[in-house]
Amino acid sequence: MSSRGFAIPFAVCCIGVALFSVMDAAMKGLSLSIGLYNALFWRAVAGTVMGAVLMLLARQRWPVAAVLRIHLLRGVVVAAMALLFFWAIMRLPLAEAIALSFIAPLIALYLAALLLGEKVGRQAIGASLLGLLGVGVILSGRLQGRYEPDALLGALAVLASAVLFAWNLIIQRRQAQVASPIEVAFFQHLVMLGAFAPGAALLLAPPPLKSVPLVVLAAALAFTSLASLAWAYARAEAQRLIPVEYSAFLWAAIMGWLVFGERLTWTTLAGALLIVAGCLIAARSKPADLAHVEAGAA
């Protein structure tokens, strides 16, 4: 692809990553004000309505059973991933949570080996060890007693969500081949809504009127960023777009500072650099395994 042909997908990818980071900040604020369950449920409602309207306007056909099964599996995985990730960012600075989530592509290497029978080379193993070192550096800050008591649990929740996100990467490859960006975004919100619905009888409460704009904003940001990245990755090589996604750390640091007054620690910065270095090394050996590293894709 020529430099001119690559410029538009590159720009769209940059916008998509930035929107995801703003969405993470919106969801953190929403979760702190109305509770995590209600924030996830009402965002799923708003996203489903948006998706249904766009599906009708675009005259998208209802997918066949085989594609529906992929949508269902990914939606359930993303629902669990989102629950863990947003629970974590209620207890962690945004930049730190995003930095820890970057370990997901390295985990995906081993899930690909387990689920798809792919081989993990020496270079990828070395990259994984570098990434784990970065995680250790970030967690070391948690063990120095300078944070809230449940902050370490938040860090562990991010790592658990990263495992699910890595599984999501495996499913996403098949999904991108059989569904449009609008269809992907619609069914992700619809399945998440179904996954959260059983808890409604005990946990659901109408959002305060002042929170409704933030619910709609979070849903619009999630839908737009998801579709933007799907569009960009369909038009440019993943290995050329991967470095853009690590800009999420910068956006998360900015949003965390502006909205929540969060400080960026040296352990978070150093750990993020090690994890990103590991991901980029792995990308040189197996670029296809590293698409969409941003955990805010939930």
What does the pLDDT read at residue 4? Answer: 62
| Statement: residue 222 has pLDDT above 70 | yes
Q: d(Cα 114, Cα 199) in Å, to the nearest integer?
A: 33
Q: Which of 225, 222, 195, 210 shows the shortest CA–CA distance to 49? A: 222
Which has more confidence, 90 or 265? 90
| Statement: residue 218 has pLDDT above 90 | yes
What does the pLDDT read at residue 171? Answer: 80
What does the pLDDT read at residue 11? Answer: 87
Residues with Cβ within 8 Å of residue 115, at least 6 apart in sequence: 170
- Asked if 42 contacts 216 with a C-beta cutoff of 8 angstroms, the reply is no
* Least confident piece of the model among 162-166, 212-216, 269-273, 276-280: 276-280
What does the pLDDT read at residue 51? Answer: 93
Q: Which of 183, 251, 288 shows the shortest CA–CA distance to 16? A: 251
| Statement: residue 220 has pLDDT above 90 | yes
Q: How buried is 236 (Cβ within 10 angstroms: 0-12 exposed, 13-18 middle, 19+ buried)?
A: buried
| Statement: residue 140 has pLDDT above 60 | yes
Calculate the average pLDDT of the chain. Answer: 83
What is the model's pTM? 0.83
- pLDDT tens, residue by residue, 244-292: 777 888 888 899 999 999 888 888 888 888 887 877 776 665 544 444 5
Reported confidence tier of residue 134, pLDDT bands at 50, 70, 90: confident
Q: d(Cα 218, Cα 27) in Å, to the nearest integer?
A: 6
| Statement: residue 189 has pLDDT above 80 | yes
